[in-house]
Structure 1
Amino acid sequence: MPDTENVPDPRPHLRRAVAQLAAVTAEVRPERLTDPTPCAEYDVKGLLQHVVGAARALAGVAAAGGFKRSGPLPTPQVADDGWGAAVAEAGDRLAAAWDDESLLTAKYDVPWGKSPGHGVVSFLVLELVTHTWDLNQALGRPVTLDPELSELALKVAETLPPEGKEGAFGAARPAPEGADVHTRLAARTGRPLD
């Protein structure tokens, strides 16, 4: 479970992370859906299915008091040219679910443990920003990513075990000397940098 006490209110960052992911997803063309991503288990379509499925499932955590599903997430079925709309809708629903400030102090059972809402939202920012980097890399970096979002995501990533035991990210890798924040985040979450 991430320790995010020193992270500012993550809800505005969640909205910005959703918008950034939507901007990158808008660049996806159907012929690119089978391209590989730095997240080794997913091609572009698989990554988008993961992000949309997780966003839809985790939007219900705030209202339900925790994650009420067992087993794998359902795989969303989206038309090849419909990913932009699907990501925007799922992301907006996810961000709206956490609008109430009182949710930040409540405790939730989530797939990575028991966490206050602040930690859940912070982890969601990390997840979205990291997968946005994955997608942007796979597409040839058509979008300039927000360094402030990556700074926050890196701060959250640094609270996780470097061995990658959270189940969401691989073991941390060394970042090249002088690497920008996006590259440092990618290295910390186990992405290949070559």
Structure 2
Amino acid sequence: MNSTPDPRPLFQRATEQLAALIRTVRPEQLAAPTPCSDYDVRTLLSHIVGVAHRIGVVGEGGDLLAVPALAEDVPDDGWGVAYEETRARAIAAWADSARLDAQMEMPWGPTPGRTALSGFVMELVTHAWDLSEGLGRPLVLDQELAEFARAFARQALPADRRGEGVPFEAVLPAPEGADAYGQLAAWLGRRPLADR
């Protein structure tokens, strides 16, 4: 039995935080930039919905790579509904505690479910920061989630593992006085929009 804590409560909170951010999106913000240089707000929303779909598929025992990274055919006024549907599926897929110790096939190899889900928490928390930046920081973000994500990122994505095939830039110095989100973003090579 794995002694790593159950990441499902943090996963639930991470999905709720993203849902709250998505509810603040106004139509005129969809083309706004985000710290993900290839994604404006609309494309980031598409990716967030796609990631939630992937999390559900993996939790159900399916193949992550069989699911597109971007959600298709979501109207501009449908992001909230699309995310709620995919996050509900993902939460249900991970409800059985046996999934936490099941071996899951991930792009980097077989991984215990609790480690895979912890990685998904890191991704959702990171994208919450990305989306918050793109929307002008409309809500106060959960610092405990960022602390968890930062600790996981430091372990799973060491500074020397960047480059080809890794979707994160080189580690940047965190701005002085940065909170946990600022430190997480810097570790993953992201800059606040104000610093560009």
Taking structure 2 as the reference length, the TM-score comes to 0.88
CA contact (8 A) 2:59 2:93 kept: yes
What's the offset of the Cα at 1:184? 0.4
Task: Give the SS at the match of 2:60.
Answer: helix
CA contact (8 A) 1:35 1:43 kept: yes
Which residue does the alignment assign to 2:33? 36
One of 79, 103, 111 as aligned partner of 1:83: 79
The runs of 5 or more residues in structure 1 that have no matched partner are none
Distance of 1:85 and 1:173 partners within structure 2: 35
Would the alpha carbon gap of residues 67 and 173 (structure 1) be closer, same or farther in structure 2, given more than 3 Å must change? Answer: same
Which residue does the alignment assign to 2:24? 27
Distance of 2:5 and 2:182 partners within structure 1: 22
Distance of 2:131 and 2:62 partners within structure 1: 31
Task: Give the aligned residue type for 1:53.
Answer: G
Could you tell which deviates more after superposition, 118-127 or 47-56?
A: 47-56
CA contact (8 A) 1:154 1:185 kept: yes
Identity of aligned residues (%): 48
RMSD: 2.0
Could you tell which deviates more after superposition, 33-42 or 57-66?
A: 57-66
Task: Give the SS at the match of 1:174.
Answer: coil
The count of corresponding residues between Structure 1 and Structure 2 is: 189
- Higher normalized contact order (CA 8 Å, seq sep 6+, divided by chain length): 1
Which residue does the alignment assign to 1:169? 168
Which residue does the alignment assign to 2:123? 127
CA contact (8 A) 1:7 1:152 kept: no
Would the alpha carbon gap of residues 157 and 74 (structure 1) be closer, same or farther in structure 2, given more than 3 Å must change? Answer: closer
Task: Give the SS at the match of 2:111.
Answer: strand
Which residue does the alignment assign to 2:179? 180
Which residue does the alignment assign to 1:94? 90
Taking structure 1 as the reference length, the TM-score comes to 0.89
One of 50, 58, 66 as aligned partner of 1:69: 66
Task: Give the aligned residue type for 1:56.
Answer: H
Distance of 1:8 and 1:85 partners within structure 2: 31
Higher normalized helix content (fraction of residues): 2
What's the offset of the Cα at 1:48? 0.8
- 1:114 correspondence with 2:103: no
CA contact (8 A) 2:174 2:186 kept: yes
Task: Give the aligned residue type for 1:80.
Answer: D
Would the alpha carbon gap of residues 149 and 56 (structure 1) be closer, same or farther in structure 2, given more than 3 Å must change? Answer: same
- 1:14 correspondence with 2:41: no
The runs of 5 or more residues in structure 2 that have no matched partner are none
Task: Give the aligned residue type for 2:41.
Answer: V
In the TM superposition, what whole-angstrom CA distance separates every residue of 1:26-78 from its partner, at most 9, and x where no partner exists? Answer: 111121111110011111011111111122123111222543628x5453221
- 1:143 correspondence with 2:142: no
CA contact (8 A) 1:48 1:83 kept: yes
Which residue does the alignment assign to 1:56? 53
Task: Give the SS at the match of 1:108.
Answer: strand
In the TM superposition, what whole-angstrom CA distance separates every residue of 1:127-164 from its partner, at most 9, and x where no partner exists? Answer: 00000100001111001000011111111111112243
CA contact (8 A) 1:164 1:189 kept: no
